[in-house]
A and B are shown apart, each in its own frame.
Chain A
Amino acid sequence: MSEQNNGLNTANEDNTPHPNYWRSFESLYRDPKVIEAKAHEFKEGVTDDFSPSGMSNISRRKFFALLGASAALAGTACTDYRDKGEIVPYNVKPEEITVGKPNYYASTCTACPNACGILIKTREGRPIKIDGNPDHPVNKGKICAKGQANILNLYDPERIKAPQKNSSLTFNEVSWKDADNEIITALGLAGSDEIALITHSITSPTMLKVIDDFKAKYPTAKLYSYELFNDSIKNSAWRKTYGSGNFPLLKWDEAKVILSLESDFLGTEGHKVETSRLFSQNRDVDSKKFTRLYCIDSNITITGINSDYRLHIRPEAQLEFVLSLANEIAKKGNITSAISASGYDLNNFAKKYNLDSKILNYLVSDLIANKGKSIITAGNSLPENVHIAVNLLNDALGNKNLYRTDSSSVSLVDHSTIEEFEALVQKMNAGSVAVVINIDCNPVYHFADDLGFEKALAKVPLSITLTERLNETTAVTHYALPLNHNFESWGDAKVRTNVFSLQQPVIAPIHQTRQKESILLSWISGKSDSFTEYLYLTYLKNNWEKNIYPTLNSKISFDKFWLGALHDGIVKTTSPVISYGAANTGSFDESKIEIKNPEGFTLIIKENYSLGDGRFAHNGWLQELPHPVSKATWDNYAALSEKTCKDFGLKDNDLIEVSVENRKLKLPVLMQAGTADNVIVVESGFGRTNSGTVATGVGFNVNSLLSSKSNLSPWIYSNAKITKTGDTYLVATTQEHHVFDDPLVQDLHIIRKIIQEGTVAEYLKNPSFIKENNEAQLPSVSNPYPYNGVKWGMAIDLNKCTGCGDCVVACDVENNIPVVGKDQVLKSREMQWLRIDRYYSGSPDNPKVSIQPMLCQHCDQAPCENVCPVVATTHSPDGLNQMTYNRCVGTRYCSNNCPYKVRRFNFYNFRDHFRDSYQENPILALMHNPEVTVRSRGVMEKCTFCVQRISEARADATHLKRNLKGSDVTTACQDACSSNAIYFGDINDKEEEFYKYRNHELGYYVLEELNVKPNVTYIAKLRNIHSEEV
């Protein structure tokens, strides 16, 4: 063809000459045929020859040129690589550490005076998780929410990192040397003036010895110890009745009947972890062993929601009640107790406070029928005479044999009385106190204002606070000296007669902190440079070698003994069998009985379940842990009964002013069903004024209502008043306020079989009464996926679950769950993977409460999976419903389609959003579990059944060349549950214990009719009420 073109080209010379290589092209276009073809439009269809030159040629050529250029250069842009950081290995790897595998250290928790044994999980020498020490005889491998969340205190960005000197309200860092010098000289010059050491309860014998040495060195030193909430009344009552010792430990697990008077033994009183374990052993569907719990109290507590019968009376009436009860028992069972309080009649009492006399009769007959197998326990906050009466009644009922004889609690130092503190304040005012040293305590916040401690403190020449973070007390003291955290310190503890517990650090102090004992020791030595890293360790070892080891008459050498003790974390000792003498019948002084008929309001101040007395206020996880009963977070409030609210025209979130005598406090109202009328229940621990970003200004400081002159008791005040302010204040709860009067939503949880319950009698009559009304399994059109091998499942025993919420915090820690803050909780965007649902049924006056831990049910036919457009959530071959975070784009469709609403969505980057990116602080990266992804904004997340633990177990099994077994894995919530309500394991393994619960006759699935085939079984709760009740 080209020749022809050339021929033609020569024909018309008039063309401008072209460079050769264009010749053929250009000429091609000059070919008339082609020109025609180009304009040729009469095509009969595709069949005709179709030449691309039909389209404008030159623009196309340019287009390709541009395209080429762009593409080529776009390629050059993809050349940069982001720096992924350098690898920093150990230069000498310690023997115990295998990179990527955790180590465990036995230690002791100092979060509260119970001093539980803990097992600290570390990764590459950094603590990341706390569990109970399984070898510890008291808490048996379990640990409460505070202990779990304690890890956050260690990495808290707002710990003070170096000694602070307070010069006219501005803190500036000073070196330890300077601080020590000044303090030591001051101590030396104290002369005859007192040196006051103020501390919480001392649980460490060695610490006590340090104090003694301190006293030896500085003779004017005096130790004061206190707890805002304590059992001193109970103990003094006990001494009045039985002469000596403390109130004994109880055999909760053997009690047939428990009567709790204003006592929250499953919550804030005593050793919660131990008590709930023993209590739940006694509500066991397996051994069909069930205790019966009566609660007579003024406000609904964890104990209250777990009771079989509950009546509420105002605390003032408790004494009258006990006396009437004693009489009734004396009458009915002719059991004569030492309380000859005739003239108190139970029926009259019932009428007076319109209580259900039927229940009272049950109570009386049960107590009589179960002589020696029942416990009557009075709350710490009740006045002494109630306790004495209760002791005598127990004595009369022969319940003494439920007092434990193998062990009793030990208090190394008795708390100082209020009189002692008043004396101290006087001395401080008089200027006869040279130095005040607050050892890891916050008296300015805790002490009643009318004690005047704060003002007096200002008069003291030198005041020092040893603390982990700034607080109300450091604000008014001259020095704030930074303390080691629990996990950076050495120590020991003795809180029970039969066991010592040892505390060892798992990480060297992160900041320039020292532990309180070494600080005191260096002051004792009188030389500011005497401090060394091992100062206290050597002291501790010596103390043990000299004083404790000999008493244990152990066979092995001390060095071996010491290493073994550290390894186990505990040393068991044999304590003599405790015997309880006869009760002093005279101890109850009838003449002292004055039944004051309560008028006005009764103010009850309680310890908050998660914040304690405020010690944990700065801990976001605990602030966000919903209140077990009211589900409120981030605030305290005045809990009022529904009737009281009606009477005074109050709604939720109304701001009222509570006043006792001349003390006033504004509080928001929360209508708490089951509260006694005309009772105001407020929890302590909030309203911190100087507690860092998290806690400052959260809630209301109820301690300002406290008085050093105790009313009914230091925590109960009669004749309180309330006035409406007209303002409102939103309290953030994780569950909508329950509506009792709307028939539409009434008892939905029962109608929908979310909660299935029965009674013990019913169960014994017909063990399969739950199974019978379960939904039939629907047939499937396609044959289901065969899950051979391990298939994970969970069973939750609602009989054991007390609803305390420890598991929630454990899950937070294990799975790097962020704190979202009050504003987001108000928008109901809390992130906890595991929540504890609370349902009321019955009357708002005295509701029946049902508790249900709700987490991802890992359904075999998961509705969430079908709807995810990007396969970010799918099913694993071992039956897990798994989330692929990196794949998730965040359509939230899965969450919409989840019937259990257990999925959680990162509406923000919460770490950044909460309190202007408080959680973005790099130090918190040390705390996060390295095995769990830190989720970004816009990603859906949910319970994974602790898949990281499953993979770890699988890896170990593979390494040991054996098959993975269900019992190899425990989930974080399971580990934390002190009442062992959670079972986890392999559904297919018939040998395992878990199998029994998975297929229990009381087992049911929530929303079974949806046929999503959940892998979480709930074991129906049985209430141990009288059969005629049903």
Chain B
Amino acid sequence: MNNDKNLYCIAATFNTPDEIINAAKKVSGAGYTHFDVNTPYPVHGMDDAMKLKPSKLGFVTLVMGLAGASIALLFMYWSLSIDYPLVIGGKPYFALPAFIPVTFEMTVLLATVSTVVAMIMLFFQLPNNKHPLHDTKYMKSVSHDKYGILIETNDDKFDEKEVENFLKNLKPLNIEYIYYPPEETYSIFQPKFLLLLAGIALVVSGGTYFSLNKLMFMTPFNWMMDQAKLIPQKGSELFEDGFGMRKPVTGTVARGFVPYPYKGQVNPTEVLANPFLPTKENIALGKAKYDIYCSPCHGYFADGDSRLRGQFPNPPTLHSQRARDFSDGMFYHIITNGQNIMPSYESQITRDERWAIVNYIRVLQRAKNASDADLTEMNKEAGSNVAN
């Protein structure tokens, strides 16, 4: 035998099940451990003859089965009662009876699949089509109708001559030397393969792009993204101007929006009366709106100290005598109508809010021009507070 060939085992084939059982008994009896019997179907009594331990496969099944059960149950509990609890048909979040079927199925699934996978991959070390036995005369016969036994070179007691004689004594049909196949060497960077890589990459990316960005938005696919309705601030090509949002027809009066009667007048002879009392809530509302809409120009305290750093002319203070003598209606009129370069705020500030702002301006004016009387008034209140 030449050097580069690497012996794997010596094998013998027999004709009947009885012979092989006997042979197996002999071989195992002779103390060989690394030997195997190959038969086209499981021959009975062979495990004993070979002195095999019963399979441990059962443990895998047990463990994975239990795992399946608990995973299923826990997941259902978590998803329906903790992660996203929903009232479904008035059932409790954790409706155990309804969870049994899925639990059972998951148990079976994990148990069986993992058993088989474990058997094939861990116990059999399969798939392995590179095994020396493959494509040997021996293999062909044992998978057909013969019964074979083999002793491997890596058995501690292995000695080529000895084993050969030992097998001969069993009067086999024939004896066969089986060698390791020669190692091929591969390079991953064959141009052909790289071409294949590129091709696949192209197909994959093209395919994904098309299906994700085009196909998914053709009929019949419908994700209810494009709704046949006009949501606010959506354009519409049905109108020349392209506005989906229309303006009310001039001259119409919407409920609760009787037009402001003194529109456009600079100094209206009569003005509306303030319908709101300066209650806490109303003034709070007024402050909020004032700070949003008025303070940028008029300043937080209506001193006319703009925060616009002169990018827009500063308005006069609202603490002037003139401003303090304004009627509430006049302020309302100015907010609604605008004045000089101050634009109209009617489209930003609702009518009630305008009155609230007026009330707040009054508060500011009062605060800026407090009299001693006010002070004593305040002390009185403070005192009374202390007394309580």
Contact = CB atoms under 8 A, between A and B. Distances in A.
Contacts of B154: 36, 40
A874 B87 CA distance: 6
A563 B249 contact: no
Contacts of B248: 94, 96-97, 103, 122, 125, 506
A861 B90 contact: yes
B86 to A, nearest CB: 5
Contact of B122 (A46, A95, A860): A46
Interface of B: 4, 6, 8, 33-34, 36, 53, 56, 60, 86-92, 95, 98, 118, 122-125, 127-132, 152, 154, 180, 183, 185-186, 188, 193, 196-197, 200-202, 204-209, 212-213, 217, 220, 222-225, 227-239, 242-259, 261, 346-348, 350
Contacts of B244: 88, 124
Interface in A1-56: 14-16, 18, 26, 29-30, 32, 35-36, 38-46, 50, 54-56
A886 B225 CA distance: 9
A85 interface: yes
A58 interface: yes
Contacts of A920: 228
A104 interface: yes
Interface stretch (A61-69, A368-376, A753-761, A968-976): A61-69
B236 A70 contact: no
Given A122-B254, A510-B238, A874-B87, 5 more contacts: A30-B183, A36-B154, A76-B205, A80-B212, A866-B88
A925 B229 contact: yes
A94 B247 contact: yes
A930 B346 contact: no
B347 A93 contact: yes
Q: Is the interface of A mostly helix, strand, loop or mixed?
A: loop
B246 A507 contact: yes
A934 B89 contact: no
A504 interface: yes
A784 interface: yes
A979 to B, nearest CB: 25
Contacts of B235: 85-86, 88
Given A39-B180, A78-B212, A95-B347, A929 B90 contact: no
Ranked 4 nearest A-B pairs via Cβ: A125-B246, A77-B208, A77-B209, A124-B245
B224 A77 contact: no
A507 B249 contact: yes
Nearest to B4: A14
B131 A41 contact: yes
24 contacts: A41-B124, A41-B125, A42-B152, A43-B122, A46-B60, A46-B118, A61-B188, A66-B200, A69-B204, A73-B208, A80-B209, A80-B213, A103-B248, A104-B255, A124-B244, A534-B250, A566-B251, A866-B89, A875-B88, A886-B224, A922-B236, A930-B232, A933-B227, A935-B224
A785 B232 contact: no
B6 A35 contact: yes
Contacts of B201: 69-70, 72-73
Contacts of B152: 42
B52 to A, nearest CB: 9
A935 B224 CA distance: 7
Nearest to A16: B185
B88 A871 contact: yes
Contacts of A537: 251
A45 B152 CA distance: 19
Nearest to B243: A88
Given A30-B183, A43-B125, A909-B222, A563 B258 contact: yes
Given A50-B122, A65-B188, A69-B201, A782 B251 contact: no
A567 interface: yes
A863 B89 contact: yes
Contacts of A784: 90
A66 B196 CA distance: 9
A593 B152 CA distance: 127
B159 to A, nearest CB: 17
A925 B228 contact: yes
B86 A874 contact: yes
Interface string A95-127: 111111001111000000000000100111110
A419 to B, nearest CB: 43
Given A92-B347, A99-B233, A56 B128 contact: yes
A14 B92 CA distance: 75
A82 B217 contact: yes
Contacts of A267: none
B233 A936 contact: no
A105 B186 contact: no
Interface string A754-776: 00000000000000000000000
Contact of B259 (A65, A78, A97, A563): A563
A402 interface: no
Contact of A56 (B130, B183, B251, B253): B130
A66 B257 contact: no
B87 A875 contact: yes
Interface of A: 14-16, 18, 26, 29-30, 32, 35-36, 38-46, 50, 54-56, 58, 61-62, 65-66, 69-70, 72-74, 76-78, 80, 82, 85-90, 92-100, 103-106, 119, 122-126, 504-508, 510, 534, 537, 559-560, 563-564, 566-567, 780, 782-785, 816, 860-866, 871, 874-877, 885-886, 909, 911, 920, 922-926, 928-930, 932-939, 1013
A30 B236 CA distance: 74
B257 A926 contact: no
B253 A504 contact: yes
A108 B113 CA distance: 73
Contact of A506 (B123, B130, B188, B249): B249
Contacts of A85: 234-235
Contacts of A119: 255
Contact of B123 (A43, A56, A96, A560): A43
Nearest to A567: B253
A934 B228 contact: yes
A939 B220 CA distance: 13
Nearest to B345: A95
B92 A105 contact: no
A97 B232 CA distance: 11
Given A74-B208, A77-B212, A89-B233, A926 B8 contact: no
A100 B245 CA distance: 10
A252 B247 CA distance: 43
Contacts of A56: 127-130
Contacts of A70: 200-201, 204
Nearest to B205: A73
Contacts of A106: 255
A87 B207 CA distance: 32
B258 A39 contact: no
B238 A926 contact: yes
Contacts of B185: 15-16, 18, 26
B247 to A, nearest CB: 6
B180 A1013 contact: no
B25 to A, nearest CB: 18
Given A124-B232, A537-B251, A95 B257 contact: yes
B246 to A, nearest CB: 3
A518 to B, nearest CB: 14
Contacts of A14: 4
A42 B33 contact: yes
Contact of B89 (A58, A74, A861, A925): A861
Contacts of A76: 205, 209
Contacts of B231: 930
A39 B7 CA distance: 12
A564 B258 contact: yes
A782 B213 contact: no
Contacts of B223: 886, 936
A105 B36 CA distance: 95
A578 B117 CA distance: 98
A866 B127 CA distance: 45
Nearest to A926: B230
A742 B213 CA distance: 58
